[in-house]
Chains A and B, each alone.
Chain A
Amino acid sequence: MAPISRGFHGRRSETTEAERVPPGQYVTRDFPVLSAGPTPHNPIESWSFEIRGEIDEPRSWTWEQFIALPSERITVDIHCVTKWSKLDTSWTGVSFDTLLDGVDTSAEYVLAFCDGGYTTNLPLEDISDGKAWVAYEFQGEPLDPEHGGPARLLVPHLYFWKSAKWVRGIELRQDDLPGFWENYGYHNYGDPWKEQRYAGD
């Protein structure tokens, strides 16, 4: 291991709730802004969320339509692969159970696509049954563009790179297609409790 820097602790909080912190993670009170590209600034009038691919009738919502959908306020812990975890973050968003309601599909996988070109992949079952949302508010306020606003994916049970910022839709697929970071060596699934950070973990 590298030599210890005497007296260095970093910007981390103590937590007594160790059972909420996956292996190798540190709790932070910050909310670091980390991106692979510039923050998109597109007019909300041209925003849409689409579900396409292995679906008989692709679905699409404008912003007005989207925020009129039934939404939920949820409080979850989030875990970034860069080792910071943030506990009790609160979000408002539309559950994928709502978005996929009534959808009949043979797809087993999902590829999320975003403004700016970012993608990430997940098994369809990992966005079903109350496990994932498209979130547009954080702590009761409109989601900041730096943090993915107007809307981002929220999939708290996986590492946070799967909670794609600036999401514009999902493609339902029969085959799995690795997304941006998955292509560069990150784990295809990304379960923080099994410390699945990198391909092969």
Chain B
Amino acid sequence: MERTAVRRRLNWQLARVVEVVAETSRTKSIALDATDWPGHLAGQHVDVRLTAEDGYQAQRSYSIASAPGDEHLVLTVERLDDGEVSPYLTEELRPGDDLELRGPIGGYFVWRESLGGPILLVGGGSGVVPLRAMLRHHRAIASEVPARLVYSARTRDDLLYRGELGGYETTITLTRERPEHWDGRTGRVDHGLLAETAWPPGERPLVYVCGPTGFVEAVAEALVALGHDANRIRTERFGPT
């Protein structure tokens, strides 16, 4: 049973870190237990707030990587070298620590089965995180809605969730590497790649595009140029953390 997770008073709460797992050399998935968690929809995010001993605070938003029915709430965080929050979350945080967060947040960038499809998910870098939640949910409910994923990462080592994404119609493209024996694509997600891999506009897919601002805007523009309905394209832009 899905709960409408968007209509409640939003408060900061403490979640206990259960596990921290390396996804890549720069990215960790943080599994959390939040006792007051109302459940969430695939695609939503949380705000995380850190407070230093002298009261200094920093706050960032992170997409939820886990599906609504998963055992723990999971956030996947990429460490940015000059980030303020991500180095802490990926290098310091450990099981047993408490993390202050509020959520779930956002009803716009959400997929649930009643919305139908087919669905096209396009993720750049960490932008794949909420899309992974959507696909995990899709699998958990044995949805028959046709789904395609286009995922852009810098290098093979940066790819998240490799094992999981294999079961879908997935196009992976690397932008900074041309590995030998690579059966995926290389180059950016551009008009040409989308023309080949996206659903035809006539299928009127629901599209979810997520990643850095430049990526999202280039992809959304290309999709519209290909004939996709702008009203059926949902976007979420990430900033540095």
Interface residues of A (CB under 8 A from B): 1-12, 26, 30, 83
Contact assessment for A4 and B49 in the assembled complex, using a CB-CB cutoff below 8 Å: no
B236: Cβ under 8 A from any A Cβ: no
Write out the residue numbers on chain B whose beta carbons fall within 8 Å of the beta carbon of A5. Answer: 50-52, 88, 97-100
Cβ contact of B55, chosen from A1, A6, A9, A11, cutoff 8 A: A1
Interface residues of B (CB under 8 A from A): 12, 14, 49-53, 55-58, 82, 84, 88, 92-93, 97-100
Write out the residue numbers on chain A whose beta carbons fall within 8 Å of the beta carbon of B57. Answer: 2
Give Cα distance in the complex from A6 to B51, angstroms: 8
Contact assessment for A10 and B58 in the assembled complex, using a CB-CB cutoff below 8 Å: yes
Which of B49, B50, B57, B97 has the most C-beta atoms of chain A within 10 angstroms of its own C-beta? B50
Chain B nearest CB, measured from A34 CB (Å): 12
Chain B nearest CB, measured from A65 CB (Å): 37
Write out the residue numbers on chain B whose beta carbons fall within 8 Å of the beta carbon of A9. Answer: 52, 56
Contact assessment for B52 and A4 in the assembled complex, using a CB-CB cutoff below 8 Å: yes
Cβ contact of A8, chosen from B12, B14, B52, B82, cutoff 8 A: B52
Q: Is the interface of A mostly helix, strand, loop or mixed?
A: loop
Write out the residue numbers on chain B whose beta carbons fall within 8 Å of the beta carbon of A12. Answer: 56
Give Cα distance in the complex from A26 to B56, angstroms: 8
Knowing A10-B56, A26-B56, A83-B56 are in contact, say whether A2-B92 is a contact too (CB < 8 A): no
3 A-B pairs with least C-beta separation: A5-B50, A11-B84, A2-B51
Contact assessment for A3 and B98 in the assembled complex, using a CB-CB cutoff below 8 Å: yes
Write out the residue numbers on chain A whose beta carbons fall within 8 Å of the beta carbon of B55. Answer: 1
Chain B nearest CB, measured from A86 CB (Å): 15
Chain B nearest CB, measured from A57 CB (Å): 45
Give Cα distance in the complex from A14 to B128, angstroms: 37
Cβ contact of B92, chosen from A3, A8, A30, A83, cutoff 8 A: A8
Write out the residue numbers on chain A whose beta carbons fall within 8 Å of the beta carbon of B53. Answer: 4
Give Cα distance in the complex from A26 to B52, angstroms: 12
Write out the residue numbers on chain A whose beta carbons fall within 8 Å of the beta carbon of B88. Answer: 5, 7-8
Beta-carbon nearest neighbor of B57 in chain A: A2
Give Cα distance in the complex from A8 to B59, angstroms: 12
